[in-house]
Structure 1
């Protein structure tokens, strides 16, 4: 009986050792994957910072002004001045007539009939 119990205990110890061995390698693989992902994140952040610097360099007002002057014949771009803008009161908006039993959707300006006392909502 003792021999059988020793054999079972040895089997359990071997099984636990095998499980621990597998978990150790799975953990190491996960740690390597995390380290690789962190390297990729650092690389992408560096790339983003370089792209932001390039964008700032390309959007310099002096450079853009020179490009506008160089391509004025083809594009006809002019700088925005305060005279190009108007007051809101000067803009002619179309007048929409609303009947007493209609609601207006402010986004589409289409009228939707309202239910009367003898009607129900659909």
Structure 2
């Protein structure tokens, strides 16, 4: 009986060792994936920073003014004036339907 207990214990230890090894491999794979995703996120953040800097560079008021001056005749652009904007009261808001007790 004691020999059977030792054999079963040995198999249990081997089974737990195999399970632990498998879990270790899965953990290492997941950690590699996380490192890869973090590196990708970092690269995308850097690319986004570069694009924001380029956008700010291209939208400089001096550059836009020069473009407008160069293309004034072809585009027919006019300077903005306050009269070109509407008033708040001119916005057509939808009416809110009120519910009565009988329509519920």
TM bracket (short chain): 0.7 to 0.9
**TM-score (norm: length of structure 2):** 0.81
Aligned length: 102
Measure, in 1, the Cα distance between the counterparts of 2:4 and 2:99: 87
Shift of 1:81: 3.9
1:17 paired with 2:22, answer: no
* Aligned twin of 2:64: 64
Larger fraction in helix: 2
113 and 47 in structure 1: CA distance in 2 versus 1, 3 angstrom threshold: closer
Report deviation, 1:79. 2.1
Q: Which runs of 5+ in 1 are unaligned?
A: 94-105
Kindly indicate whether residue 18 of structure 2 is the aligned counterpart of residue 32 of structure 1: no
Distance 1:21 1:62 in 2: 64
Question: Would you say 1:53 and 2:53 are equivalent positions?
Answer: yes
1:85 Cα deviation from its structure 2 partner: 5.3
CA 1:113–1:7 in structure 2 vs 1: closer, same or farther (change >3 Å)?
Answer: closer
Please state which structure has a larger fraction of its residues in strand.
Answer: 1
RMSD of equivalent CA atoms: 2.8
Tell me the equivalent position of 1:108.
94
Shift in alpha-carbon separation, 1:5–1:43, aligned structure 2, 3 A: same
TM-aligned CA deviation for residue 80 of structure 1: 2.0
2:13 is aligned with 1:6: no
Label 1:37 to 1:113 Cα distance change in 2 as closer, same or farther (>3 A): closer
Match of 1:101 in 2: none
CA positional deviation for 1:3: 1.3
- TM-score, normalised to structure 1, is 0.70
1:109 offset after TM fit, Å?
A: 4.5
